[in-house]
Structure 1
Amino acid sequence: MIVCSFKDLEKYQSVLNYLPEALRKVEELKKAGLIPGRYDYHGFFINVQRGTTKPLNEGRFETHMRYVDIQYEIEGSELMAYAPKDALRDDLPYDEKNDIAFFNADKKDTTIAAIQAGMCYIVFPEDGHMPCRHTDRPTNYTKLVIKLPVKK
């Protein structure tokens, strides 16, 4: 997992397929007003999401096998929980169609990161993550989830 400023994202081009094209599409989506939904492109897609964070203690970790997530916080903030894949316990089996599996993890194996507007985090297949969380009060957010195929 990598946590960084969105403006520094291009530094990770060597490990991310389609990154230059995805960054161009992000700018187009911003200019178009960030209308929520899924936007499909050649080789990757971007989800524009608006929502409210959920309690940290009510969530489950997720992983993906085919896609790397870049979760880019546009407005608002969230807490994101991380646990390495080898610390995760199966909760629901892998859903191949939606490229997602859900897990639980012990608190001792969990790291919490505060993600502010302008920041992003990159989640690889070995990274369990629980996005869009809070501990005290719910917060509203607007974010992009950029789904790039895993580099082989």
Structure 2
Amino acid sequence: MIFTNLKDSLQNESLSKEIKKCIEFTNKNKIEEYEAGVYEVPGTDMKMNVGHYTTKAESECFWETHLKYIDVQVMLKGEEYIAFNNVHNLKKIKTDEKNDLIEHEGDELFRVLMKEGDVLILYPEDAHMPGVKVNEPISVKKVVFKIKAEKI
């Protein structure tokens, strides 16, 4: 897991070429104006999932990991907690290979507060529970870029 911000040019310069493309694309485009959905990132083999949703209580969220993709999550509007643990500390309960999604159960190791402009990079072993409300449920807009793990 790597945590940074869209404006943190010093740290972002040390990231892989593919991750830097995600940050550059976000900085150069008004993704917050996109409708929710899945889009191709022009000039790459990456996809991005644009989400508009309401945060929830932790009891309504679930743990997830991915087999083939690295997530580059960028908070565009709003804030949420993302709970975190290593996949080896959790129990696998469901696998959906078609959608590259594995659901888990277990305890939180720690959580990260995502605010506007924050970037969270999650690798396949990084179990995460997104969408957890901070105080009250609020509407958020977030983009999740999907990079093939073998590209990094």
TM-score by length of 2: 0.85
What is the root-mean-square deviation in Å for CA atoms of aligned residues?
Answer: 2.1
| Displacement of 1:6 | 1.9
1:89 aligns with one of 66, 88, 91: 91
CA distance 1:20–1:3, shift in 2 (3 Å): closer
| Displacement of 1:135 | 5.3
Corresponding residue for residue 6 of structure 1: 6
Gaps (5+ residues) in structure 1?
A: none
The amino acid across from 2:59 in the alignment is: N
3-state SS in 2 of match to 1:7:
coil
- State whether structure 2 residue 60 is matched by structure 1 residue 33: no
Corresponding residue for residue 45 of structure 1: 47
The amino acid across from 2:101 in the alignment is: I
Deviations for 1:25-72, whole angstroms, at most 9, x for unmatched residues? Answer: 334541782222111243110111111001112222100011100110
TM-score by length of 1: 0.85
Mapped contact 2:6–2:27 kept (Cα < 8 A): no
Gaps (5+ residues) in structure 2?
A: none
The amino acid across from 1:133 in the alignment is: V
| 4+ residue segments displaced more than 4 Å | none
**Identity within the alignment, %:** 29
Aligned length: 147
The amino acid across from 1:18 in the alignment is: E
